[in-house]
Structure 1
Amino acid sequence: MTITGDLNAQIPTPQANVAQMFVNRVKTSPDTVAFWQPTDPGWKKYTWRDLDQQVRSYTAGLISLGVIDNDRVAIASNTRYEWMVADFAILLTGAATTTVYPTTGIEDAAHIISDSGSIVIFAENQEQVDKYLSIKSRTPRVKNIVVFDGAGDGDFVITLEELGRRGKRLLESSPNVVNDHIARISGDTLATLIYTSGTTGKPKGVELMHKGFTYQAASIESLGVLTAQDVQLLWLPLAHSFGKVLSVLHLQIGFQTAIDGRVPKIVENLGDVKPTFMAAVPRIFEKVHAKVTADVAHEGGAKAKIFNWAFKVGTKAALSGDLDSGKKSPAYKIAEKLVFHKLHARFGGNIRYFISGAAALSTEINTWFAAANLKILEGWGLTESGPATAMSRPWETAIGYVGDPFPGTQVKLAADGELLIKSPALMRGYHNLPEENAKAFDADGWLYTGDIGEIDAKGRIKITDRKRDVVKTSSGKFVAPTTIEVKFKAVTQIASHILVVAANRNFVSALIALDPEGLTAFAERNKLAGGYDQLRENPSVLAQLQSEIDALNAGLNQWEQVKQFRVLPKDLSIEADELTPSLKVRRSRVMQKYQDLVDGIYSESAKTA
């Protein structure tokens, strides 16, 4: 049994709780910028002192509504400045934040609010207000809805401004009320309930404690990866555990955060903010890679030759470790001047590195970014693990690995290849689900992850697949669909998602969704007419997909190769419940929806056999 990581690693002493982290950061950095809020046009900046005044008024406002220690308060909103302020306000009361995606459907929303026992809901806008008013009879514990953008009704639904006014009145009569609440919070107090978007059954509430977040913040800070001089562009869903840990890291280190969850604005915001780091999910990197390589391939000629030469030089420099040690050959400096500086400019020009998480990143795409000296630190973890478990380090190139465990965390490899985790950040358990808790941990307190992986001689972790996703064909061969799907992302220019089908089948097939932007660009370059419906059946589009499948198959074993594919009638989306908010495919739901397409592949094959 292989174990990596050190539970007794030396890290800064974690702070008592997240509320105390907030207090200490305000005290240490009162007049430095904490947040940037988009104002269209431009950005409004808030110092930690500004933030403190807002948060304390909202905290007191919640107390005036009857929120007490260990209550739950929900936030149903996209990522925005008000989300962060509301979260801090909740935590300072001693209550816990229940995170809800704004795209969550009625049934799941009713379950989450009811199961969590949330008594107040922060709602982003009237659409969210209407959703929760429609389930009011099913969530009787809810006392009030507080709306970010909207008028409210002055009674059950109040505005954020009204919450602040109520809080200020309470502070005038009881100036120590917020401090009294903070003083009662311990590391064992529940901080957050995050409901996992399971593919079967109802979402399960993961209970994450204050001490888990303060440990993660101290552990990550000990690596020296980030400093108070950094600037973050934060767009990830704050309802996701990845976004949540970034918020406490912000408190620990004190860097600036520009916050805007509107995905279509990412490129524009990069130019405005010029961040030094940004966390993202793999789909963002895949889209950049596909667009740039497709544009260059279409232009061809001398430009394509220079581009390809530059990346050949860059790949050698990255994989040799030269870029890690600051060595740049004369050839690399030319490549930098001719090609790579343009790519850096796309991201604002100041990026030191990216952090990728929430799903697997293609090694080919990671290598491509590394060649341009745009390092991607790949992380790994689960909501149940806190979530931060491991991350590759910026001082070494270890493409294909998610790095070493964070100091204070251990990961072990079980006999069947599953990775297990032991860490101070692990969840307390699933909310109201004692039977599920018994299944989540082994007898010694190690968390089962469901991830299959490897640990190398240096203690670095590689994720190879999900345990439940490894399937067997009808001929008895094992196939890892996720691994094949990640590889495809590095060769496609026009697809957004691929689902590999192999379980109990006599050959491997795939369903492919086209990326609307990539498809439009392909159509313009090749002078093709029509929208998605027409183009998905166009011979030129199908020929392009076949060439991409051929490139994929060239690197696969014979029994893993995709023999046939079908194009889905539309791209996958969060709104259709086909993607999670972190842009991962809900495999079982998509397969159920398009089962006829899959069956058609194999029935047609049987007829021609």
Structure 2
Amino acid sequence: MTDKQQHSLDQRPPSLAHLFLDRVAATPDREAFRYPVPSAGEGPDEWRGYTWAEAAERVYAIAAGLMDLGVRPEERVAIASSTRVDWILADLGIMCAGAATTTVYAQTNADETAYILSDSGSRVLIAEDAAQLAKVRELRDRLPALAHVVVIEAADALPAEGDPEGWVLSLAALAERGAAYLEKKPDCVRETVAALRPGQLATLIYTSGTTGRPKGVRLRQDTWSYMGHAIEAVSMLEPADLQYLWLPLAHVFGKVLLSAHIKVGHVMAVDGRVDKIVENMPVVRPTIMCGVPRIFERVYNGAAMRAKEGGALRFRIFTWAAGVAREYARAEQESFRRTGTHAVPMGLRARHAVADRLVYARLREAFGGRIRACVSGSAALTPEIGYFFTGAGIPILEGYGLTESAAASFLNPGPALRTGTVGKAFPGLEVRLAEDGEVLLRGPGIMDGYHGLPEQTAEVLDGEGWFHTGDIGELSDDGFLRITDRKKDLFKTSGGKYVAPTEIEGRFKAVCPYVAQMQVIGAGRKYCSALIALEEASIMNWARENGVPGGYAEVVAHPRTRELIEGYVQELNAGLQRWQTLKKFRLLPRELDVEHGDMTPSLKLKRGNVEAKFHELIDDMYADA
């Protein structure tokens, strides 16, 4: 980091709203956002855009509209919506009104939505559509503080004459109120922003949690200003970038990217429809994209399956090229560690050039042809997947953070990327390891605490300001962090051996192209076992090619499928310590997902839920133990 960047970090303004006003003033006519407008027929979506000045006009109207509804600084305004440009404009409007955003996942059920709105004391809810409105209508008696609901897609949610009670209004109507309010008080937004202070509440993000009710993480105004400056300082983004954003904005990973976007001033293409990612990439042609490991695993497995469907020769070429990519990435990284240059042996360079023409170039084209880096976060990325993409010319920069640390705490530096680590700490962040290896963090990005939960706050924030992450890690002499497991996920077998389940699960995903999820079992048991869920699309393709009849459940239960997966489990076991090896496994009758409560919205396993639901399969694996 240069002296200029350090000075910028030290002199940062007190809030993201300040950064937004500064960005609009600096580059009013530069493009800020792109967003899709679905076509009326079957044609492709049309992509439109906002300049920073056009975005500001909408943001100020929303902010003033909220003021007209009586919203005051630090009062909570919730957003329940999928990722779309309106989410971002609403969030900025809330911040420019001095209020605090409460985030709600679009797929959150009515009961938990009502809990979050009630616990946060949200005064207004900005709901995406009729489905989100219906959740709060049916539980309105539990929400006495909720004065209004503002609906983004109001056509199907409100009668033509509007809501006779005045409880519900459209986002367009809120903006109209804001425009009228601005005519009377033209300086209201700037004055409100000017009055914001670093320690005021800016955001309540409810952790999806693997057990119990979610907790509201209190993040300050200064947190987001710091994050914008810190991400700019590590050169993750450049003003010329076009970033593709599909991550859920209710999650802290998606939210922190907005801070960086405003500080750096690049273009953000926004579309949260996960099923559109493959279609959008060649159209948007991004230079950078952030994602979670599951996305990269699916891309890799999809490429492997397409190669296999192309015949034995094509699959051998893909397998060979994948090995070359990993070898090449390892060689580059090892060279950089030793010499500071990416020197690769001549023979390997020649093989890599051939593999590039045969395999890698097509993969890069599927990403739009301009990707200079992807960032992976939220969960551990299997190193073999990371080496493959990096060697194929799509470097994956793994990072690390939690909701409680505003998502971004560590990131791999581009040229000095070390696959298998989460990189180095952001400037301004302190890190140390406890005696048991737990990662402790302290700095401007750390939360104030859990909303209304002082005892639970005290469990993770000590008197010196250190946040106890619950993750076990190893720190290299030059500051690269490797996360080895979640402290609470580590278990001990009855033989007294510790096992890190996520490490084993990650290795299996690199070995088996058919796996969707895996959960290793073995706490207090004589040996380790596993529950394995197969990815429906890939295993059904295999079934058709190999004459295995039936639907997904029948295919999974077929002896030939079990034999297939048995081979991959044996391959996995060959690289594990004796006490880590899987003695038994069971294939699950369905994929694990958010809807069944198996996973959090950020795709982390709810291990207790999974064990409870499939306890009979687990008991069967240990019946003779």
For this structure pair, what is the TM-score category when the shorter chain's length is used for normalisation?
A: over 0.9
Distance 1:308 1:535, change over 3 A: closer
Q: Flag structure 1 segments of 5+ consecutive residues without an equivalent.
A: 1-5
1:44 and 1:392 mapped to 2: Cα distance? 33
Distance 2:592 2:316 in 1: 35
Of 97, 101, 118, which residue of structure 2 is paired with 1:97? 101
Q: What is residue 3 of structure 1 aligned with on the other side? A: none
State which of 224, 238, 242 in structure 1 corresponds to 2:235: 224
Q: In structure 1, what is the Cα distance between the partners aligned to 2:572 and 2:319?
A: 20
Corresponding position: 1:15 with 2:13: yes
Separation in structure 2 between the aligned mates of residue 91 and residue 483 of structure 1, nearest angstrom: 40
Give the alignment's TM-score, normalised by structure 1.
0.95
Cα gap change, 1:495 to 1:317, in 2 (>3 Å)? closer
Does the 8 Å CA contact 1:9/1:408 hold for their aligned counterparts? Answer: no
> Equivalents in 2 of 1:280, 1:224: separation in Å?
18
Per the TM alignment, residue 455 of structure 1 is displaced from its structure 2 partner at its CA by 0.6
Distance 2:567 2:13 in 1: 54
CA distance in structure 1 between the partners assigned to 2:247 and 2:37 by the alignment: 19
Give the aligned partner of residue 340 of structure 1. Answer: 360
Give the 3 Å change call, closer, same or farther, for CA 548–11 of structure 1 in structure 2. Answer: farther
Aligned to 1:175: 186
Question: 2:163 aligned with 1:185, yes or no?
Answer: no
Secondary structure at 1:520 match in 2: helix
CA displacement at 1:540 relative to structure 2: 2.1
Partner of 1:559: 579
Q: Would you say the 8 A contact 1:215–1:424 is kept in 2?
A: yes
Question: Counterpart of 2:199 in 1: which secondary structure?
Answer: coil
Does residue 24 of the first structure (1) align with residue 44 of the second (2)?
Answer: no
1:350 aligns with one of 344, 347, 370: 370
Instruction: Letter of the 1:29 partner, please give it.
Output: T
Alignment counterpart, residue 435 of structure 2, candidates 412, 415, 418 = 415
Q: CA deviation at 1:10?
A: 5.7
Match of 2:553 among 529, 533, 542: 533
Structure 2 counterpart of 1:467, from 471, 487, 499: 487
Q: Who is 1:111 aligned against?
A: 115
Q: In the TM superposition, what is the alpha-carbon distance from 1:144 to its structure 2 partner? A: 0.5
- Out of 79, 90, 107, the residue aligned to residue 86 of structure 1 is 90
Q: How does 1:498-577 map to 2 (within 5 A)?
A: 498-577=518-597
1:301 Cα deviation (Å)?
A: 4.0
Q: Tell me if the contact between 1:36 and 1:258 (Cα under 8 Å) persists in the aligned partners.
A: yes
1:33-52 matches, within 5 Å, as: 33-40=31-38, 41-52=45-56
SS of the residue 1:118 aligns to:
coil
Query: Following TM superposition, by how much is the alpha carbon of 1:354 offset from its aligned partner in structure 2, in angstroms?
Result: 0.4
Alignment equivalent of 2:216, drawn from 194, 205, 228: 205
**Match for 1:365 among 385, 393, 398?**
385
8 Å CA contact retained: 1:10, 1:407: no
Which residues of 2 match residues 249-398 of structure 1 at below 5 A?
249-321=260-332, 325=341, 329-398=349-418
User: Number of residues paired by the alignment?
Assistant: 599
The RMSD of aligned alpha carbons is 1.8
**By how many angstroms is 1:85 displaced?**
0.7
Contact 1:385 1:426 in 2 (8 A): yes
1:15 CA displacement = 2.5
Q: How far did 1:150 drift? A: 2.2
CA distance in 2, matches of 1:318, 1:501: 33
* 2-structure distance, mates of 1:385, 1:455: 18
1:214 counterpart letter in structure 2: S
Shift of 1:212: 1.2
How far does residue 299 in structure 1 lie from its aligned partner after superposition?
3.9
Q: Does the aligned pair in 2 maintain the 1:464–1:483 contact within 8 Å?
A: yes
Shift of the alpha carbon at 1:298? 4.8
User: Helix, strand or coil: the match of 1:30?
Assistant: coil
**Residues of 1 paired with 2:343 and 2:325: CA distance?**
12
- CA drift at 1:218: 0.8
Classify the secondary structure of the residue corresponding to 2:272: coil
Give 1:558 shift: 1.1
Whether the aligned pair in 2 keeps the contact of 1:321 and 1:396 (CA below 8 Å) is no
1:77 has 2:117 as partner: no
Deviation (angstroms), 1:397: 3.2
Q: What letter is aligned with 1:250?
A: H
Q: Which moved more, 1:544-553 or 1:116-125?
A: 544-553
Percent of residue pairs bearing the same amino acid type: 43
Aligned equivalents of 1:58, 1:443: Cα separation in 2: 40
Say whether 1:445 aligns with 2:443: no
More displaced stretch, 316-325 vs 15-24: 316-325
What secondary structure, in the 3-state scheme, does the structure 1 residue paired with 2:605 have? coil
**Cα distance between partner residues in 1 of 2:362 and 2:353:** 13
Looking at structure 1, the residues matched to 287 and 211 of structure 2 have their Cα atoms a distance apart, in angstroms, of 39
Contact 2:66 2:94 in 1 (8 A): yes
Q: CA deviation at 1:462?
A: 0.4
CA displacement at 1:464 relative to structure 2: 0.3
Q: Give how far 1:366 is off.
A: 0.6
Paired with 1:556 and 1:9, the residues of 2 have a C-alpha distance of 44
Classify the secondary structure of the residue corresponding to 2:102: strand
> Which residue number in structure 1 is paired with residue 41 of structure 2?
none
Q: Which residue of 1 aligns with 2:131?
A: 127
- Aligned residue for 1:468, secondary structure, equals coil
Q: Does 1:578 pair with 2:582? A: no
Q: Per-residue deviation at 1:524?
A: 2.6
Equivalent residues of 1:14, 1:217 under 8 A apart: no
Q: What are the superposed Cα offsets for residues 186-212 of structure 1, whole Å, 9 maximum, x if unpaired? A: 111111000112233321100001111
Counterpart amino acid of 1:419?
V
- In 2: Cα distance, 1:318 partner to 1:529 partner: 41
Question: Could you tell me whether the CA contact under 8 Å between 1:512 and 1:567 is conserved in 2?
Answer: yes
Segment drifting more, 356-365 vs 330-339: 330-339
1:328-366, Cα deviation, whole Å (9 max, x unpaired): 734322222222101101111100010000000101111
Instruction: Give TM-score scaled by structure 2 length.
Output: 0.93
Local SS of the residue matching 2:469: strand
Higher RCO, Cα 8 Å, sep 6+? 1
Equivalent-residue separation in structure 2 for 1:514 and 1:419 (angstroms): 33
Question: Helix, strand or coil for the counterpart of 2:596?
Answer: coil
Question: Aligned partners of 2:577, 2:618: CA distance in 1, in Å?
Answer: 22
Relative to structure 1, the CA distance from residue 350 to residue 236 in structure 2 (aligned partners, 3 Å threshold; closer, same or farther) is same
Give 3-state SS (helix, strand or coil) of 1:563's partner: strand
Alpha-carbon contact 1:34-1:45 (below 8 Å) kept = yes
Q: Is the 8 A contact 2:308 2:314 kept in 1?
A: no
Contact 1:318 1:397 in 2 (8 A): no
Query: 1:140 & 1:81 partners in 2: Cα distance?
Result: 29
Secondary structure of the corresponding residue to residue 125 of structure 2: strand
Distance in structure 1 (CA, Å) of the matches to 2:301 and 2:176: 50
Q: Residue 565 of structure 1: SS of its match in structure 2?
A: strand
Which amino acid in the other structure matches residue 44 of structure 1?
R
- Aligned residue in 1 for 2:42: none
